[in-house]
Amino acid sequence: MKTNILVIGGTGKTGRRVVEQLQNKGIEPRVGSRNLLPSFDWDNKDTWISALEGIEKMYVTYYPDLAVPGAKEAIESLTYLAKELGVKKMVLLSGKGETEAEACEKIVMNSGMDYTIVRASWFNQNWSESFFLDPILSGEVALPMSDVLIPFVDANDIVEVAATVLLNDTYNGEIIEVTGPELITFKDIVNIISKTSKRNLNFYDITLEQYIDGMKQMQMPNDVVWLIEYLFSHVLTNPKNQLVVNDIERVLGRKAKTFLEYAQETAETGIWSQVEVQ
């Protein structure tokens, strides 16, 4: 059935999964993306009105992250417009331990709309769908801060929570923190991926400066380089990020997925295998 729900970032890592969650419940959300109609483009405010028309609830992700310059202004403009156009509720995906993201949260919280903030730790899927995949495929993984403990969380757990709080008004006005069930280091992760994918992965502990220089040499986009440097230098070391929170269990009534469970499932897909499938 058609619905009055909009998923902004609906083709992205969590957005497409939220769309699937809703579709599995018989709900057909409007997908906010540059390449769909009506299109939604963060860089073109002219697209926002048609995307928001007739919408009552929306799930919002900002690419690449709420911490990047310009995100706060974009969230402020979108939130104001959404309220003007009659949107009743907003679920915002935010990041744990990010001061800039918390500023965006406050905009939503003070908007006068119903809201739920889903504040996430680093995603497991960064190792299979994002910037950590290429080093895994190469077999040579060089990262700074290899002993920092991180409660990596599975994207599928995040979106099941997001879809639940989007539909269930019990969680209105709450900040839901989503983490995995354990604290784990980069060294642990490379070890686990090595075992589950049956590959010999080499791990090198390098400085943050070396890591940033390497990204620049690979000609990665400036905003991505800025974001990764920010995440490593400010977010990973934030004490707020080195805590396991049980909100996934509270909302879903089950334990959060462990990194090992994610790695076993992901290894079976062949994404980490260097053998080309014919």
Q: Report the distance separating Cα 40 and Cα 92, nearest Å.
A: 16
pLDDT computed for residue 276 by the predictor: 38
DSSP secondary structure code for residue 221 in this structure = -
In single-letter form, the type of residue at position 47 comes to: T
Q: Report the distance separating Cα 71 and Cα 84, nearest Å.
A: 20
Residue extents of the structural domains in the chain: 2-121+154-179+242-256
pLDDT computed for residue 221 by the predictor: 86
Q: Which numeric CATH code is attached to 2-121+154-179+242-256?
A: 3.40.50.720
pTM, rounded to two decimals:
0.94
Query: Token pair for residue 215?
Result: 């990204």
**If residue 31 lies in a helix (H) or strand (E), which one and from where to where?**
strand 28-32
pLDDT computed for residue 275 by the predictor: 43
* Beta pairing class for 2-8 and 57-60: parallel
Q: Report the distance separating Cα 140 and Cα 79, nearest Å.
A: 43
Per residue of the chain (278 residues), give pLDDT as tens.
457 999 999 999 999 999 999 999 999 999 999 988 889 999 999 999 999 999 999 999 998 899 999 999 999 999 999 999 999 999 999 999 898 999 999 999 999 999 999 999 999 999 999 889 999 999 999 999 999 999 999 999 999 999 999 999 999 999 999 999 999 999 999 999 999 999 999 999 999 999 999 999 989 888 889 989 999 998 988 888 889 999 999 999 999 999 999 999 999 999 999 643 43
pLDDT computed for residue 182 by the predictor: 97
Q: Report the distance separating Cα 63 and Cα 69, nearest Å.
A: 11
pLDDT computed for residue 241 by the predictor: 84
Query: Token pair for residue 19?
Result: 């769309």
pLDDT computed for residue 278 by the predictor: 36
Under 8 Å CB-to-CB from 85, ≥6 apart: which residues?
49, 52, 53, 55
Q: Report the distance separating Cα 114 and Cα 264, nearest Å.
A: 38
